[in-house]
């Protein structure tokens, strides 16, 4: 992948965030998602790459754009696989709560898992705890391992879990172990990425969420030196067959970082739509809009936080802070 592609992709997530943020708190998640998807698709058409969507808005007959198998880019440049979630947290935007993102990930062709649209059990940690956790181990054992790796008491560990009835046993065990919990309504891509940044106050992610979001999170954590493990959770025979059709024959297999995103290069970009622990959401100020984006490349290890100051009538200006 070309280095210049990194900054080109920032324009894609910025456009999606600016478009969807107009719908914040208005109770219309489908309209917000459609705005993000349309904006993202339009900018992708200008990007110098030969991209194929491997994780998108659905199959060709289910989604008007950004469907699995769709070709993206202007037909020039590197051949890459693309995972997109134009609005990760449609309910979040509809309600005006925290951690909605416009997200995409790009990897060398053939290196990204073609994750079916079903549930995945996940565990994610930042760099300090890489190699210390095991999705097949108990919640308590994993909490203790993270505490030891980060040189803190288990009572000081913060676990993020989607607030769902299916996670009641996980939540109970975290509380019994004495750790703290941050329950979130949606948005486990942001929650997984947050484990790699001390200032977010998050140490580990547990629980079942979308498999496509698991791949997006894996690309982000690959760039950051973190780790995510996953196990697919098909809910019926149709979903089991879907796994087999996509080359996943062992449903019980633990999917490692290399399974989710292989190779030595990948790019992850996310722009905040609503405020979160890691990124500020879009703000509109008269004729201007502001965005905050994180963009990362695995090969170089570069992490950039980009503050965008956008004239709503002109091309955006960027202020880049490298970290």
Element counts in the chain: helices (H) and strands (E): 9, 14
Neighbouring CB atoms inside 10 A of 258's CB total 12
Binding residues for substrate, by number, are: 88-90, 119, 164-166, 186-188, 210
**Between the CA atoms of 229, 231, 232 and 235, what dihedral angle is there, to the nearest 10 degrees?**
-130
Q: For 43, list phi and psi in degrees, rounded to 5.
A: -75, -35
d(CA 321, CA 303): 9
Using the 8-state DSSP alphabet, how is residue 106 labeled? E
Q: For 263, list phi and psi in degrees, rounded to 5.
A: 80, 180
Binding residues, by number, are: 33, 57, 85, 88-90, 119, 164-166, 186-188, 210, 213
Binding residues for Mn(2+), by number, are: 33, 57, 85, 88, 213
Using the 8-state DSSP alphabet, how is residue 154 labeled? G
Residues 6+ apart with CB under 8 A from 301: 223, 225
């Amino acid at each position: 992948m070309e280095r210049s592609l990194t900054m080109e992709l920032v324009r894609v997530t910025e456009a999606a965030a600016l478009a969807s943020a107009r719908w914040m708190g208005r109770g219309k998640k489908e309209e917000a998602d459609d705005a993000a998807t349309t904006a993202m698709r339009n900018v992708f058409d200008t990007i110098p790459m030969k991209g194929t969507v491997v994780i998108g808005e659905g199959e060709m007959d289910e989604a008007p754009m950004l469907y699995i198998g769709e070709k993206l880019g202007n037909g020039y440049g590197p051949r890459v696989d693309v995972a997109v979630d134009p609005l990760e947290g449609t309910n979040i935007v509809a309600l005006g709560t925290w951690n909605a993102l416009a997200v995409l990930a790009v990897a060398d062709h053939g290196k990204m898992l073609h994750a079916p649209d079903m549930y995945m059990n996940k565990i994610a940690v930042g760099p300090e705890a890489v190699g210390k956790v095991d999705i097949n181990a108990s919640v308590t054992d994993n909490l203790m391992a993270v505490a030891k790796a980060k040189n803190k008491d288990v009572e000081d560990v913060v676990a993020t879990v989607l607030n769902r009835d299916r996670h009641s046993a996980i939540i109970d065990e975290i509380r019994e172990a004495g750790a703290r919990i941050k329950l979130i309504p949606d948005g486990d891509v942001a929650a997984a990425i947050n484990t790699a940044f001390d200032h977010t106050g998050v140490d580990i992610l547990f629980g079942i969420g979308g498999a496509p979001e698991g791949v997006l999170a894996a690309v982000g954590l690959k760039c950051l030196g973190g780790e995510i493990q996953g196990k697919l959770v098909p809910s019926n025979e149709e979903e089991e067959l879907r796994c087999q059709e996509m080359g996943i024959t062992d449903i019980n297999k633990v999917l490692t970082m290399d399974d989710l995103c292989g190779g030595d290069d990948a790019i992850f970009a996310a722009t905040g739509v609503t405020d979160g622990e890691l990124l500020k959401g879009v703000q509109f100020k008269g004729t201007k809009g502001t965005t905050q984006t994180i963009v990362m490349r695995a090969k170089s290890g570069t992490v950039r936080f980009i503050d965008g100051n956008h004239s709503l009538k002109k091309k955006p200006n960027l202020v880049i802070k490298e970290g």
